[in-house]
């Protein structure tokens, strides 16, 4: 540019705007604005809407949204009207900040200024609404843009498909896929990746695997992200052998495994206790020259710690330090947690000193582990002092810290002190969660104070939290115990309810809940329901817990009775209804399944996708294909699918049973495709 000026060429708007763009891409906004100053001083080189839009985008990129809005007003004062691009950039910034209401206000301003939103504007809004979980509003925006003659592009479809998948609305996501195909808007690999991830979210990784067949048939090659999503999905479901097979074959598919692939597998294997194989993968990762990060090491360390191998975990910690991977104290926390289980308080303090030595700031988790360890060592006063220390060093305790304190105090019988802490939490800006209330409810039930336990639940509901299965189990245990003598109640397995430990609570609570549901009378459930209605709790949530549990322990007659009761009263406990239908489906009671579907519909509710799928499976198994097809038609009708014929192949694919053997064949075909030519699947 300097050379062109020396040669006598004048400054031009396009040249200067290009320079502004370059500086904005480098995030050097001070130089970009210096160019704007030069433009404003040079005759015939005035900034236009493109120049301002680029600067506004640059400001939004570095988080200076207020300055971007000020610049928009400034350009209007200089007689330069904001363009569609200007508004869209600002709308996107507001959506990313979660300010969807302000973004919609800006759209109204935009239309008032004579700027009609284009496909990019609508796509940004749809994506923003989906991020906020407002999927129906996003769908409304999608329909609005079509009515306004603006046709969605592939990015728009992908944004809405992603939104549906995150909400678990897989039928609607696949309906959009059929709509894309009908309109000759060819899905890309991102479209399929969103759907694959959506299927994994609803615990259907084998379905996600089969979807790869469609990817290949559409002339697309699955990428590294496709396989990583599948690996993660199979690991989450505990199908580690399938995850490992995909991982091993990735290179055969012409896709290089990356740090995410290795980390997902290492984490999955560690959770399964296969530490030798996980450790071998770390070695392979190092050999391939793939950089290991803190997440990889911490996943492996966590596996060693859970198996009690603190020596192996310490070696990994040394490796992390040598490789410069130690950025936070997460790795230290894993070892601290193991030491707390072993009541090694002296070693914990030594490790705490090591954290400080390496210049790392102990996190709230670090302090919380120490607080719990002090309670275990019967050092209650020192534990309370640790809370004060946290406040002094600028690491205020979080809800998990308070939960450990409340639990510790309840174990020592100091429930009144625990309740005072509950009252003070809100004043300190920390909201109690389900665990906080659950600990206190269990403590009062165990002490025979059922009335006070119910009062705690009432406070819980007032603060916007509905009771969970552990609270319901505790309250039911209280009702059962109140009908027995104290001596009998304390001899039963349901009595020690209040003990809460992050490592053991889940299995313990499942066992206790199962025992309660086996021995309770329906009268106890009805008594609890009355109490729930008194404090405006969710009766539907209670019935979901109760009926699902009764099905699990084989009390199907009682489960059916309660389900029919609540449906007739105008509530639809979705999980409960599915549990009853699925129980009959697994026992090949197809007629009972149909009766329940009809009962749900006759009471004005729509059965869930899972319920329909379960009954369709039952019908297929019994060879009743006509009835299965009728149910399939009903499923599409009740999900408001416009073009049933176009969506049918996708819906059939979703409701068909999982066939793991097909997935193995599919992997072989993809391998052939890479090595020779693309097969037809």
DSSP string, 332-369: HHHHHHHHHHTT-HHHHHHHHHHHHHTTPPP-HHHHHH
Mean pLDDT of 576-600: 93
Residue 498 has what pLDDT?
37
Mean pLDDT of 422-428: 81
Q: State yes or no: pLDDT of 344 exceeds 80.
A: no
Q: How many other C-beta atoms lie within 10 A of the C-beta of residue 676?
A: 8
Q: State yes or no: pLDDT of 496 exceeds 60.
A: no
Q: State yes or no: pLDDT of 577 exceeds 90.
A: yes
**Among 193, 243, 232, which Cα is nearest to 215's?**
193
Nearby residues of 77 by Cβ (< 8 Å), 6 or more positions away: none
Mean pLDDT of 191-195: 95
Burial of 343 by CB count in 10 Å (0-12 exposed, 13-18 middle, 19+ buried)? Answer: exposed
Max Cα separation, the chain? 103
Q: Report which DSSP code applies to 391.
A: H
Mean pLDDT of 287-307: 87
SS3 letters for 657-672? Answer: CCCHHHHHHHHHHHHH
Give exposure, 259-272, as e/b (b: 16+ Cβ within 10 Å).
ebbbbbbbbbbbbe
Rounded CA-CA distance 392/342 in Å is 29
Range from 57-61, 78-82, 464-468 carrying the lowest mean pLDDT: 78-82
Mean pLDDT of 598-616: 92
Range from 264-268, 384-388, 454-458 carrying the lowest mean pLDDT: 384-388
Q: State yes or no: pLDDT of 504 exceeds 60.
A: no
Mean of per-residue pLDDT scores for the chain = 86
Model confidence over 358-383: pLDDT tens digits? 778 888 888 888 888 888 888 888 88
Mean pLDDT of 176-182: 91
Burial of 602 by CB count in 10 Å (0-12 exposed, 13-18 middle, 19+ buried)? Answer: exposed
CB 432 within 8 A of CB 406: no
Residue 263 has what pLDDT?
92
Range from 101-115, 497-511, 526-540 carrying the lowest mean pLDDT: 497-511
Residue 339 has what pLDDT?
77
pLDDT band for position 252 (cuts 50, 70, 90) = confident
Q: State yes or no: pLDDT of 414 exceeds 80.
A: yes
Q: What is the DSSP string of 288-324?
A: TTPPP-HHHHHHHHHHHHHTT-HHHHHHHHHHHHHHT
pLDDT band for position 294 (cuts 50, 70, 90) = confident
Q: Report which DSSP code applies to 152.
A: P
Q: State yes or no: pLDDT of 495 exceeds 60.
A: no
Torsion, Cα of 178, 183, 186, 191 (10° steps): -40
Model confidence over 519-575: pLDDT tens digits? 888 899 999 999 999 988 899 999 999 999 999 999 999 999 999 989 988 889 999
Residue 41 has what pLDDT?
78
Q: State yes or no: pLDDT of 329 exceeds 90.
A: no
Mean pLDDT of 106-133: 93
Residue 508 has what pLDDT?
53
Residue 366 has what pLDDT?
87
CB 574 within 8 A of CB 600: no
pLDDT band for position 509 (cuts 50, 70, 90) = low
Residue 591 has what pLDDT?
92
Nearby residues of 283 by Cβ (< 8 Å), 6 or more positions away: none
Q: What is the pTM of this model?
A: 0.81
Nearby residues of 189 by Cβ (< 8 Å), 6 or more positions away: 215, 220, 221, 222, 223, 226
How far is residue 169 from each of residues 47, 133, 639, measured CA to CA in Å? 47, 12, 10
Residue 513 has what pLDDT?
76
SS3 letters for 496-518? Answer: CCCCCCCCCHHHHHHHHHHHHHH
């Amino acid at each position: 540019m300097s050379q062109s000026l020396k040669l006598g060429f004048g400054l031009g708007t396009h040249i200067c705007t290009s320079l502004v763009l370059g500086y904005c891409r480098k995030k050097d906004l001070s130089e970009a604005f210096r160019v704007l100053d030069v433009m404003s001083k040079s005759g015939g080189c005035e900034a236009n809407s493109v120049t301002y839009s680029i600067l506004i985008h640059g400001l939004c990129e570095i988080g200076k949204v207020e300055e971007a809005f000020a610049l928009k007003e400034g350009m209007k004062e200089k007689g330069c009207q904001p363009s569609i691009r200007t508004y869209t950039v600002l709308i996107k910034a507001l959506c990313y900040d979660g300010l969807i209401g302000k973004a919609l206000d800006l759209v109204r301003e935009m239309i008032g200024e004579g700027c009609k939103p284009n496909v990019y504007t609508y796509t940004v809004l749809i994506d923003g609404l989906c991020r906020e979980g407002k999927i129906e509003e996003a769908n409304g925006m999608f329909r609005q843009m079509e009515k306004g003659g603006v046709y969605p592009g592939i990015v728009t479809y992908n944004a809405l498909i992603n939104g549906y998948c995150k909400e678990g609305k897989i039928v609607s996501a696949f309906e959009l896929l059929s709509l894309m195909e009908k309109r000759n808007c060819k899905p890309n690999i991102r479209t399929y990746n969103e759907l694959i991830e959506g299927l994994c979210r609803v615990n259907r990784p084998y379905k996600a695997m089969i979807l790869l067949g469609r990817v290949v048939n559409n002339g697309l090659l699955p990428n590294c992200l496709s396989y990583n999503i599948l690996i993660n999905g199979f690991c989450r479901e505990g199908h580690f052998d399938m995850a490992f097979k995909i991982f091993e074959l990735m290179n055969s598919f012409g896709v290089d495994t990356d740090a995410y692939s290795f980390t997902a597998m290492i984490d999955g294997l560690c959770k399964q206790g296969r530490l030798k194989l996980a450790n071998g993968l770390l070695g392979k990762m190092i050999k391939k020259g793939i950089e290991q990060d803190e997440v990889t090491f911490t996943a492996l360390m966590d596996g060693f710690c859970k198996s009690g191998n603190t020596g192996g975990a310490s070696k990994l910690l040394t490796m992390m330090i040598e490789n410069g991977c130690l950025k936070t104290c997460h790795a230290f926390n894993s070892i601290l947690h193991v030491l707390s289980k072993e009541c090694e308080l002296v070693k914990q303090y030594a490790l705490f000193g090591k954290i400080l030595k390496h210049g790392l700031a102990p996190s709230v988790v670090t302090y919380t582990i120490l607080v719990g360890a002090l309670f275990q060592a019967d050092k209650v006063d020192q534990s309370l002092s640790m809370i004060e220390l946290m406040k002094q060093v600028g690491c205020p305790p979080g809800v998990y810290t308070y939960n450990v304190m409340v639990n510790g105090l309840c174990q020592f019988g100091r429930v009144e002190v625990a309740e005072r802490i509950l009252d003070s939490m809100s004043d300190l800006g920390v909201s109690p969660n389900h665990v906080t209330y659950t600990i206190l409810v269990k403590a009062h039930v165990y002490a025979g104070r059922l009335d006070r336990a119910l009062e705690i639940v009432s406070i819980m509901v007032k603060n916007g939290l509905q009771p969970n299965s552990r609270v319901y189990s505790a309250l039911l245990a209280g009702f059962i115990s109140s009908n027995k003598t104290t001596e009998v109640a304390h001899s039963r397995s349901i009595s020690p309810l209040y003990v809460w430990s992050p490592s053991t609570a889940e299995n313990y609570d499942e066992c206790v809940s199962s025992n309660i549901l086996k021995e309770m009378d329906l009268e106890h459930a009805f008594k609890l329901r009355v109490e729930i209605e008194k404090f405006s709790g969710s009766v539907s949530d209670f019935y979901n817990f109760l009926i699902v549990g009764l099905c699990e322990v084989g009390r199907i007659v009682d489960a059916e009775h309660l389900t029919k009761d609540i449906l007739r009263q105008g509530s639809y406990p979705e999980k409960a209804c599915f549990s009853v239908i699925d129980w009959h489906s697994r026992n090949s009671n197809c007629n009972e399944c149909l009766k329940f579907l009809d009962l749900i519909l006759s009471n004005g509710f729509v059965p869930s996708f899972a319920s329909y799928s379960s009954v369709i499976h039952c019908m297929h198994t019994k060879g009743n294909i006509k009835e299965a097809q009728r149910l399939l038609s009903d499923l599409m009708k009740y999900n408001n699918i416009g073009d049933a014929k176009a969506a049918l192949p996708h819906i059939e694919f979703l409701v068909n049973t999982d066939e793991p053997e097909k997935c193995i064949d599919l992997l072989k075909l993809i391998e052939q495709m890479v090595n020779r030519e693309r097969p037809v699947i």
